[in-house]
A and B are shown apart, each in its own frame.
Chain A
Amino acid sequence: MGRFIFQRVLQVIPVLIGVAILVFSMLHLIPGDPARLVVGIEATKETIEIARENLGLNKPLYEQFFSFIGNALIGDLGTSVQSGAPVTEELAKRIPITATIALGATLFAAFFGMLGGIIAAIRQNKFTDNAIMVIALLAVSTPSYFLGLLLLIIFSLHLGWFPVFGVDTPMHYVLPIVTLGAQSMGLIARMTRSSMLDVIRQDYIRTARAKGLPERVIIYLHGLKNALIPVVTIIGLRFGGLLAGTVLAEIVFSVPGVGRYLVDAILARDYPVVQGTILLVACIFVLINIIVDVTYKLVDPRIRYE
Chain B
Amino acid sequence: MGSQSQSLNNRIKKSSTKKKSVLLFWKRFSKRKVSVFGLVTILLFILLSTIGPLLTPYDPVDQNLINNFQSPSMGHWLGTDNLGRDLLTRVIYGARISFQISIVSVGLGLLGGLILGGISGYYGKKIDTIIMRFIDIMLAFPGILLAIAIVAVLGNGVLNTMIAVAIFTIPEFARIFRGSVISIKEQEYIEASKAIGFSDFKIIFRHITPNALSPLIVQATQLMGTSILIASGLSFIGLGVQPPNPEWGAMLSGAREYLSTYSMLAIAPGVAITLVVLSFSLVGDGLRDVLDPQLKNK
Contact = CB atoms under 8 A, between A and B. Distances in A.
Interface stretch (B17-25, B65-73, B258-266): B258-266
A126 B134 CA distance: 46
Contacts of A267: 238-239
Given A146-B274, A149-B256, A241 B136 contact: no
A15 B152 contact: no
A145 B256 CA distance: 10
Interface of A: 14-16, 18-19, 22-23, 26, 29-30, 137-138, 140-146, 149-150, 152-153, 157, 198, 240-241, 243-245, 247-248, 251-252, 262-263, 266-267, 274, 278, 281-282, 285-286
Contacts of A248: 144, 233, 236-237
Contact of B281 (A26, A137, A145, A146): A137
A145 B278 contact: no
Contacts of B249: 143, 145
A22 B259 CA distance: 39
Nearest to B271: A146
A281 B137 CA distance: 13
Interface of B: 133-134, 136-137, 140-145, 148-149, 151-153, 225, 229, 232-233, 236-239, 249, 252, 255-256, 259-260, 263, 266-267, 270, 273-274, 277-278, 281-282, 297
Contacts of B238: 263, 267
A244 B142 contact: yes
Interface of A is mostly: helix
Contact of B273 (A146, A198, A244, A245): A146
B255 A15 contact: no
Nearest to B285: A137
Contacts of A145: 233, 236, 249, 252
B237 A263 contact: yes
Contacts of A266: 148, 151-152, 239
B274 A245 contact: no
Contacts of A247: 144-145, 148, 237
Contacts of A278: 141, 145, 148-149, 152
A251 B133 contact: no
A146 B153 contact: no
29 contacts: A14-B133, A15-B140, A18-B140, A19-B141, A26-B149, A26-B152, A141-B277, A141-B278, A141-B281, A142-B274, A143-B233, A143-B270, A143-B273, A143-B277, A146-B270, A149-B255, A149-B266, A150-B266, A153-B260, A153-B266, A157-B259, A244-B143, A245-B143, A263-B148, A263-B237, A263-B238, A266-B148, A282-B142, A282-B145
